[in-house]
Amino acid sequence: MKAAIIVSPGSNCDRDVRVALEQNIESPPIMHWHRDPDLPKVDLIVIPGGFSYGDYLRAGAMAAHSPVIREVIDRAQKGVPVLGICNGFQILTECQLLPGTLMKNTGLKFICRDVDIRVETNTSIFTRNYTKGQKLKMPIAHNEGSYFADTKTLSRLTDNDLVALRYCSDDGEVDEAANPNGALLNIAAVLSAERNVLGMMPHPERCSDKQLGGEDGRTLFSGLANAIMHP
């Protein structure tokens, strides 16, 4: 199995994602510079977190027009799995591979802490090794994480089981008190209609080893590798 990690100026979770992937796949991931449109044939594309282009204009807006992104869109449309984490999620909404957008946190502050999230669906290659309703702890680190979409889009997401993760309380309840950033319906991660693209604000790569303080993210990478290698 081969994976590519898209690196933009300002990406800062690219190497963390590489380490998390290396725990689960044999060949080392390709670190692919965003200016290079010639993306090798891969089985998985990851757009990591960071501050691509210094968040100029809007978070993810500039990177969404990088030469390689056109190729990423093309591959995603052909069914190649694409995972966007944090800034990667913002880029995926800006290039319209995922619906909605990520707005400034309602508290107007950058939030960097562990949050509780609930797995809303395990019918995806990204979440299939979790159980539906399972509570996870993952770090978030963002200024623009407040998921917004119009009501029609929100209904489409919920009706089609495309909300992958929601922010929840310690006892697994999805309520306003457990919402760190004002995201509509406490949405922390969404899937594309074809379920091969996932955008998530929490950082699974930052909790994929005991030494990092948690392993809840490791399951995502191992499940994903397993789903790709043994479809």
Residues in touch with other proteins (CB under 8 A): 57-58, 61, 65, 93-94, 99-101, 103-108, 148-150, 182
Residues 197 and 9: their CA atoms lie apart, in Å, by 23
Residues 32 and 30: their CA atoms lie apart, in Å, by 6
Q: 103 vs 53, 100, 219, CA distance in Å? A: 17, 10, 28
Of 71, 94, 205, 207, the catalytic one is 205
Question: What secondary structure does DSSP assign to 110-121, as a single string?
Answer: -EEEEEEEEE--
Of 13, 86, 95, 168, the catalytic one is 86
Question: Is 95 noted as a catalytic residue in this protein?
Answer: no
Q: Shortest approach of other proteins to residue 39 CB, angstroms?
A: 22
Of 32, 34, 142, 203, the catalytic one is 203
Nearer CB in complex with other proteins: 107/172: 107
Nearer CB in complex with other proteins: 3/64: 64
Q: Shortest approach of other proteins to residue 180 CB, angstroms?
A: 13
Residues 105 and 109: their CA atoms lie apart, in Å, by 7
Which residues 6+ apart lie within 8 Å of 155 measured at CB? Answer: none
Q: Shortest approach of other proteins to residue 51 CB, angstroms?
A: 17
Q: Shortest approach of other proteins to residue 108 CB, angstroms?
A: 5
Nearer CB in complex with other proteins: 1/148: 148
Question: Is 203 noted as a catalytic residue in this protein?
Answer: yes
Sign of the C-alpha dihedral computed for residues 131, 116, 189 and 151 taken in this order? positive
Residues 16 and 7: their CA atoms lie apart, in Å, by 12
Element (H, E) at 76: helix 67-77
Beta carbons of 28 and 22 less than 8 angstroms apart: yes
Nearer CB in complex with other proteins: 101/124: 101
Nearer CB in complex with other proteins: 153/169: 153
Question: Is 142 noted as a catalytic residue in this protein?
Answer: no
Q: Shortest approach of other proteins to residue 64 CB, angstroms?
A: 8
- Which DSSP symbol is given to 191? E
Nearest of 159, 157, 160 to residue 148 by alpha carbon: 157
Active site residues: 86, 203, 205
